[in-house]
Amino acid sequence: MKKRDAHKITLPRVILRGDGVIDKVGEVCQSLELGKNAIVVTGPTTRKVAGDRVASLLKSSGFASQIVISKGANEENVEAAKKGDADFIVGVGGGSVNDVAKLAASDKNVPFVSVPTSAANDGIASSRSSIKRAGSKTSIEAETPIAVIADIEILSKSPHRYFAAGCGDVISNYTSVLDWKLAHKEKGEYYGVYAGELAWMSSNSILSNVELMASDRIEGTKLLIEALISSGVSMGIAGSTRPASGSEHMFSHALEVVAPKPALHGEQCGVGTIMMAFLHQADWEGIKNALERLKAPTTAKELGIEPEHLIKALTVAHNIRPGRYTILRDGLSAEKAEHVARKTGVI
């Protein structure tokens, strides 16, 4: 390996997936010797779903646990989660709770345990944290969770919208990997074959099992969780978000900036994947059909976003992450952006 390809690989040490595995949270924290004091970060709703349960399970295993309620992925909640004595932080909730807890743990330099209550994005097992800073969402490098406890009983009961968004986030690896290969070919960027194939496989596991995903929520959730974790792991192996974040993610981040009311991350990435696959001259129709079958949004209207905001996002997406070379290259003109959105039926 060339020296410039050197990077650190960080992965979770324990992953539990199954019905009722939440009851093992105390056992897991004991076995990892994380210390005595825990901060449990949870949301107002997810507290009732699982947050209180995790706090009391930790107490009965001999930990001192303190609950912090987070109402959104912003700096204020990260600061609140950092207050108090903690040897480790447990995030019990959806994507934004996870983002807050992960970043707080990283800032405090303590381990982070991820207990997702919905499967809406691949942040559940990755080192990436998405936080609102100065009005817009930014992706910040944080610590990879030391443990992931994915209770299927809880996850399979979360609203369908989150499930569909999670599918969109995994499917988006389809264009992330194409972008990565393109950057390798045209710019000589390092391409990690294993990480790339793992990310591709995560996407493919959903695309080739759409019928199962759409008809059996329990089996679908099991598959989705594994795909989301594999996607997170592919980033851990690559040492960057490259395998699971390409032009479609840049489009989603651009929507966060230009649209007054953005949709869910995974929903936006799914729609982005349709359009970026079109630009790659890949199977964008297959992606669109799969998302439709999963009842995930495939149009601006279904995202609740005005066509003009969507086009604007397409034209500025290439600036979102300077240095990340993708199919957007130097950017799309407004005419080209409109053409792509119309041809794919997004607007």
Sites of contact with Zn ion (CB under 5 A): 169
Secondary element (H or E) of residue 128: strand 128-133
169 or 256: whose CB is closer to Zn ion? 169
What are the residues whose beta carbons fall under 8 Å from the beta carbon of 26, sequence distance 6 or more?
57, 58, 60, 61, 62, 63
Polymer length in residues for the chain: 347
Cross-strand bridge partners of residue 74: 132
What are the backbone dihedrals phi and psi of residue 161, each rounded to the nearest 5 degrees, phi first?
-55, -40
- Comparison of 65 and 231: residue with beta carbon closer to Zn ion: 231
The least CB distance from residue 249 to Zn ion, in Å, is 6
CB of 270 to Zn ion, least distance (A): 10
Residue closer to Zn ion, measured from CB, 169 or 338: 169
Q: How far is the CB of 169 from Zn ion (least distance, A)?
A: 4
CB of 168 to Zn ion, least distance (A): 9
Please report how close the Cβ of residue 254 comes to Zn ion at its closest, in angstroms: 14
- 3-state SS class at 36: coil
State which residue, 93 or 168, has the beta carbon closest to Zn ion. 168
207 touches 290 (CB < 8 A): yes
Under a CB-based contact definition with an 8 Å cutoff, are residues 141 and 128 in contact? yes
> CB-wise, 143 or 169, nearer to Zn ion?
169
Classified as helix, coil or strand, 238 is helix
Contact assessment for residue 238 and residue 192, using Cβ atoms and an 8 Å cutoff: yes
Residue least distant from Zn ion (Cβ): 169
